[in-house]
Structure 1
């Protein structure tokens, strides 16, 4: 979620309280800062092959400075080869050093509307390790061969020195800016997803904006360039996941399928948003059919994310095929090491496996320890982001006490009835009788407490 049009001033105190309540760090210990400064001064050596003459580019939000990924694309017969350069965080951070120990405590970068708590000090994450434009940077380059049917295969992994030739932005990039084969690569990944029945979607952001002298909470649909760029990471992470699984090692991102009860809830959500979901259409096909520029689509995709439950991490286990329901495949994350702790270890394992070397013992041991560290970090980040959303909802609804809103019942349990308010798109729980999932109701906003990040509704019809 991000803030626009002056809403930050209304939320800054609440966000400071959220950081304190959730234990979100606001600075790094001096020894970690010293270690980061020393690491940033390291010069890549002979193990980094010089690829600075190749045209690698990045594609990110215009304001981003923590650039994990750069890419180049070539055609090889019927195949498209993606050269995906990932920030070589392992060159700067070593297992067991002060930076690594601090990263284990943080696990992920935490994004709140006003600022972020980075995984590594910014001298690395937005400096020496970031694939910034027009400077030479160490990277780990994955060669991913994508067949005409969209199947990705890991062809090689190497350390290299690259130069980002152009920092492209999602909202201004044109097809002419991108390497030849970019659109074709995305098309192939889409074909493969449809064949697998993968419901993978990139979820929208929530924004706070001013409208008619009041604040409004709404969803910002993702741009086509964002969707296309996500396909590069997907292809790479799938190829890495298969390579590690075949080698009997690795750490995998896993997520269960949406169960029958939550599937019914999603059908009620679709009805709430006025979306026509034919009974014979599977969830994945329905998601892909929705128009991305419709705010109702954004609200429904948020409901899908909640219904799927949380993803987690699992180390390799003999005889067990790791499964990620949103991808409908075996999947490992290796493409965001500046923002996720575990990616650095997966990158190192992929380097070893692709070059026929044994995975270092400290990497294999970390695969057993990382699920707990990542779970703790993800839970802390998710809790803070959920609190920030509750705060935003309270801010948006403040001063609207007594108003009546249209809603649809999503679920009922011994804890009450869960309803989806249509506009603004807010999910709330309240007491109600003689209702069934799917029923249309009207609810009145009874109270708002911005300090406690809470709102209370009552059914009135």
Structure 2
């Protein structure tokens, strides 16, 4: 159920209540359920009570010191890992053990939980509450890889050579295996905590983070030895995988994501958040597993791939024109992926360019094969037609089954291939409908999460209409703006959700990112975001708002998008001339919680000749 009380930082009770009402109405409009039907809860409760640990077919892996790395407060923990150095024939390399929540063992095909998860498709994240794919008794309980508890899991074992490439292996010692097992996480870490340990930081005087260290001691000092080794090797393996990705021609976008943040006092605000290095390394383990899964699916002839077409040459040409306009040096012989890696999103011109670059990564989809009424593996293209262009490899979603339906199907196909067994009938029967189902779910998730941010943006500045703000123009639409007349259903100008950026699959770890930032499905699902987010199913990425359909109320001129740092807003801006990538002064002319809309006009001192009918006079009030 959505929270009954939601407080916006710096706002009065009336504003916070208006936000709560707006979010309730948004859920009603989008037909997002408040809870699960009684029969779904009843079946989930029964499933959670079953003893899956005692299954003799499960391999006991509780001796391995698994740990999880997720955003603070996450309870739906899909993934846990152990990384070791390899020995024997593969000495000098690494072994990655990656445990994934075994959702399929809790869900009866065709039962109430299964039917409801197909209706939802993915978990939805709002600032007040999330709408989970599965009931909490499973997603935050029996199926979640919570610390200090025995859990059934699907465990991948991936052997890497010294360069971080998957080894071919032999029949007796394959490079990739996946099997059902029993695991026990010994530590639940947060991203900042893991990064602090890698950086050699000391615990704060306010006390140690969970599993960290006494005040003043190094973060991670009290972690089990195996956990400290895993975190250290995560940096090494993650860096190697990033280098291999670069060699393949893969692309990552470093665009700070706009996120709703709940503070210790319970208030909510919006911040621009940059990805920590450890998040990128963690994402590489998920991407590694998705690449390994795609290989198993192709070998077994049954599966479902996450695909993204190569960038359209016309979009690349447009981006080159943008680079020239922003004064960014882009040699003709330099691939766009290399350019993106050397840009710094902290620099306004670079941030504007990176935002524009998200348009290269659109059209993410799913390609199913080998199931009922589907083509066989021979019909699946072996060239770029089946690949994910941002990853530069074939790739599948298998690492977030608590929050994304398709992962349950892909996992079962891989388990069957490894075991030399038949793929379950429910997988074969359901594959054909998954691409369309996940596309709808992803579009709904992106629209909902964007509308939630729009609502919070309006609430943060609802009493500041007429004030001036410092910002940077990050997108310009060549078409002239029309004065806004009314509001589209569900809020203000919407991102193009059917063409959401899929710049690098966000593995998703407890909150949406864009399948946009580190699946923004480092896919920013930015799908999360990557990813955050995220291709379908993740939070809206930084560039997905470009090209708003209308300008500011009563204003004619060019239209675009402006990013304001304090508070962290990204909103439509209208002006006679919009200097892409340049710092500007903009006047807030609309902030409507009910319409979920914020709009600015360019300050005349920055060359704006547009006129605003009835706009509040400009001020030089607080710009923070």
| Short-chain TM bin | 0.7 to 0.9
Given candidates 438, 452, 455, the residue that maps to 2:595 is: 452
Instruction: Identify the residue that residue 127 of structure 1 maps to in structure 2.
Output: 141
Q: Distance in 1 between matches of 2:81 and 2:297?
A: 22
Post-superposition Cα deviations, 1:36-95, rounded to whole Å, max 9, x if no partner, equal 001001112112111111211111112111111111122221321111010110110122
Given candidates 560, 568, 571, the residue that maps to 1:419 is: 560
Post-superposition Cα deviations, 1:336-373, rounded to whole Å, max 9, x if no partner, equal 00000110111111000112222223212211111121
SS in 2 for 1:119: coil
- Alignment of 1:197 with 2:249, yes or no, is yes
Flag the 1:261–1:337 CA change in 2: closer, same or farther, 3 A: same
Trace 1:27-426 onto structure 2 (pairs within 5 A).
Answer: 27-44=35-52, 45-76=55-86, 77-152=91-166, 155-173=176-194, 174-175=197-198, 177-180=227-230, 181-201=233-253, 204-207=256-259, 217-263=270-316, 276=328, 278-280=330-332, 281-291=334-344, 303-305=356-358, 308-316=361-369, 318-321=379-382, 322-404=386-468, 408=473, 410-413=476-479, 417-424=558-565
Q: Distance in 2 between matches of 1:315 and 1:230?
A: 24
Post-superposition Cα deviations, 1:256-302, rounded to whole Å, max 9, x if no partner, equal 23334544665677789x78453444332233224477788777655
Q: Distance in 1 between matches of 2:10 and 2:463?
A: 17
SS in 2 for 1:171: helix
Flag the 1:294–1:336 CA change in 2: closer, same or farther, 3 A: farther
Q: Distance in 2 between matches of 1:435 and 1:220?
A: 25
Higher-Rg member (1/2)? 2
Which deviates more, 171-180 or 157-166? Answer: 171-180
Q: For residue 397 of structure 1, report the CA deviation from its aligned partner.
A: 3.5
Q: For residue 21 of structure 1, report the CA deviation from its aligned partner.
A: 1.5
Partners of 2:122 and 2:133 within 8 A in 1: yes
RMSD after superposition:
3.3
Partners of 2:315 and 2:359 within 8 A in 1: no
Partners of 2:304 and 2:410 within 8 A in 1: yes
Higher helix share: 1
SS in 2 for 1:328: coil
Q: Distance in 1 between matches of 2:320 and 2:33?
A: 40
Q: How many residues align?
A: 456
Q: Distance in 2 between matches of 1:225 and 1:302?
A: 23
* TM-score of the pair, normalised by structure 1: 0.88
Q: Distance in 2 between matches of 1:286 and 1:182?
A: 26
Which deviates more, 170-179 or 133-142? Answer: 170-179
Structure 2: which 5+ residue stretches go unaligned? Answer: 1-5, 168-174, 199-219, 221-226, 263-267, 370-374, 483-557, 609-624
Partners of 1:202 and 1:227 within 8 A in 2: no
Q: For residue 427 of structure 1, report the CA deviation from its aligned partner.
A: 5.4
* TM-score of the pair, normalised by structure 2: 0.66
Partners of 1:5 and 1:209 within 8 A in 2: no
Partners of 2:156 and 2:179 within 8 A in 1: yes
Partners of 1:204 and 1:302 within 8 A in 2: no
Partners of 2:344 and 2:351 within 8 A in 1: no
Q: Distance in 2 between matches of 1:293 and 1:311?
A: 28
- Alignment of 1:9 with 2:16, yes or no, is yes
Higher strand share: 1
Flag the 1:108–1:299 CA change in 2: closer, same or farther, 3 A: farther
Flag the 1:446–1:253 CA change in 2: closer, same or farther, 3 A: same
Flag the 1:293–1:378 CA change in 2: closer, same or farther, 3 A: same
Q: Distance in 2 between matches of 1:28 and 1:127?
A: 16
Which deviates more, 180-189 or 374-383? Answer: 180-189
Partners of 1:87 and 1:138 within 8 A in 2: yes
Q: Distance in 2 between matches of 1:207 and 1:109?
A: 17
Q: For residue 235 of structure 1, report the CA deviation from its aligned partner.
A: 0.5
Q: Distance in 1 between matches of 2:365 and 2:108?
A: 24
Partners of 1:268 and 1:438 within 8 A in 2: no
Flag the 1:208–1:46 CA change in 2: closer, same or farther, 3 A: closer
Q: For residue 3 of structure 1, report the CA deviation from its aligned partner.
A: 9.0
Flag the 1:53–1:420 CA change in 2: closer, same or farther, 3 A: same
SS in 2 for 1:13: helix
Q: Distance in 1 between matches of 2:275 and 2:21?
A: 29
Q: Distance in 2 between matches of 1:392 and 1:290?
A: 30
Partners of 1:52 and 1:163 within 8 A in 2: yes
